[in-house]
Amino acid sequence: MTDFMQLLLSGVATGAIYAMAALGFTLLWQAAGTINFAQGEFVMLPAFAMLIGMSMGLPLWASFIVAVALSILVLGAAFKKWIVDPMRGSGVVSVVVATLGLSIGLKSFVKASYSAEPHPFPSIFGDEVFKLAGVTISYSDVGALVFAGLMVVGLQAFLNKTITGRAMQAVAQNTFAAEALGINVKRMIFYTFAINAILVTVTALLITPTYLAKFDMGDNIGLKAFFAAIIGGFNNSRGALLGGILVGVLENLAGAYLTPAYKDGVALALFLTVILIKPDGLLGTPQERKV
């Protein structure tokens, strides 16, 4: 039982981290119709940015702040301006291929320019553990859960309660109507990219201690984020949270009780089950087929 509680807790913590990457992914899709196959690499880059920051003598928190700023600039503004904007109107397929190309390019770039080896990465919450009712709990799990939980809940509140957040949702639902209402659509879309940039940087901060900083770490994270987003419902931002936690918990439990070798296949199995039964995801709403 204590084992189970432990697995559950760390599963929820990992799941909350997946949920952040998934949430950013969903937001980009909603606001700009961009399916970002490079989302995993968008997590990997800030991890290396923080590593470089620390190797230059900055403490972790300071390099995190620098990484957030860089992310907004590069993964937010530059990505939008130089890749997404010029491809407007050229269809989902081209965007998919372009972001896949970006994924290959970024991976190889880091491999070539930095290193092909995995690098250890410190946890901001330290390595200590404590015991509660016989359950061993690590500070980093609790910290990740709380941090990720706050991010997701905070973002939900921002989207639902603030004027800017509501404007962003309006843009996501109907760009033309939003424009007619006088909403600055371009700026709202940029905000979405900026939020995604922040989300991936936080994801990097929380997940790299377990995954280690490696050029191809994004393969796994990206895939989990996609699956979490689709399981929860591609057009629903709360779905990303549900999907992330489901994936995190189930793969932890399956890894311990069924087979550790196929732990990474759990997300796929869950994804296939969900799309076969409910193609729009657990919390998604059906989309009309358009002629």
What is the closest distance, in whole angstroms, from the C-beta atom of residue 101 to another protein in the complex? Answer: 3
285 binds another protein (CB under 8 A): no
Is 60 a binding residue for another protein by CB under 8 A? The answer is no
Q: How far is the CB of 150 from another protein (least distance, A)?
A: 28
Q: How far apart are CA 193 and CA 25, in angstroms?
A: 10
What φ, ψ does residue 131 adopt, rounded to 5°?
Answer: -110, 135
Closest CA to 284 of 245, 235, 243: 235
Q: Which amino acid is at 282?
A: L
Does residue number 78 form part of the binding site for another protein (CB under 8 A)?
no
| Beta-bridge partner residues of 64 | none
Interface residue with another protein among 17, 66, 267, 283 (CB under 8 A) is: 267
Span from 6-14, 44-52, 131-139, 257-265 in contact with another protein (CB under 8 A): 257-265
The yes or no reply on residue 265 touching another protein (CB under 8 A) is yes
The residue assigned the tokens 């760009």 is 175
Question: How many helices (DSSP H) and strands (DSSP E) are in the chain?
Answer: 12, 2
Q: Does 108 bind another protein (CB under 8 A)?
A: yes
CA pair distance 11, 15, nearest whole angstrom: 6
Q: Give the separation between CA 65 and CA 118, rounded to whole angstroms.
A: 23
Residue closer to another protein, measured from CB, 163 or 276? 276
Q: Which of residues 220-249 bind another protein (CB under 8 A)?
A: 223, 226-227, 230
Site for another protein (CB under 8 A): which residue of 73, 78, 112, 258?
A: 112
Instruction: Give yes or no for residue 61 binding another protein (CB under 8 A).
Output: no
